[in-house]
Structure 1
C-alpha cells in the first residue's frame, strides 16, 4: 500500500476534501483530512466516514491509519 493510493481512495469518497497522507513503511499511515462534510459530526463519525472510503483495505493492506479530521472552519481557527 502507498500514500498516493490512500489519498486517491479518500478523495473519491470525500470529493471536497483536502487530504495529506504520510507513511513510509507501507502499512502504518497518518492522514489529515479536511472536509466540510464533517460539519456537525463528532470525531468518531468523521473517522468512520474516512474508513468507509477505504473499505476492506482497513485492517488488511492498511494495518493502521491515524486520522486528524477537521472542517475548513476548524483548520482556519487552528491556524490563527
Structure 2
C-alpha cells in the first residue's frame, strides 16, 4: 500500500499540534472559547440570513402573494399528473 508522504507529514503535524494544545488546561480553555465564539457568530449570522417574517402565515388580503402560491401549487400538481400519465 502506497502512502502519500505529504499526507503522512500533515497528519503527524496535526496530531502533534493537537497534543500540544490539549496538554494544558489554559490552552484547552482558549480552544473552547474560540470554538464557542465561532458557534455564536455562525448562529447569529444564520438568524440574520433567514428573515422569514410570515412563513406559514399567509395574509388573506395579499392577493399577489396568494396567487403566486396557488400557481406554484398547481405547477406541482400538473407535474405529478404528467408523470403519472407517462
Whether TM exceeds 0.5 here: the answer is no
Q: How would you bin the TM-score normalised by the shorter chain?
A: under 0.3
Q: Which has the higher helix share?
A: 2
Per the normalisation by structure 2, the TM-score is: 0.21
Using CA pairs under 8 Å that are at least 6 residues apart, name the structure with larger relative contact order, 1 or 2: 1
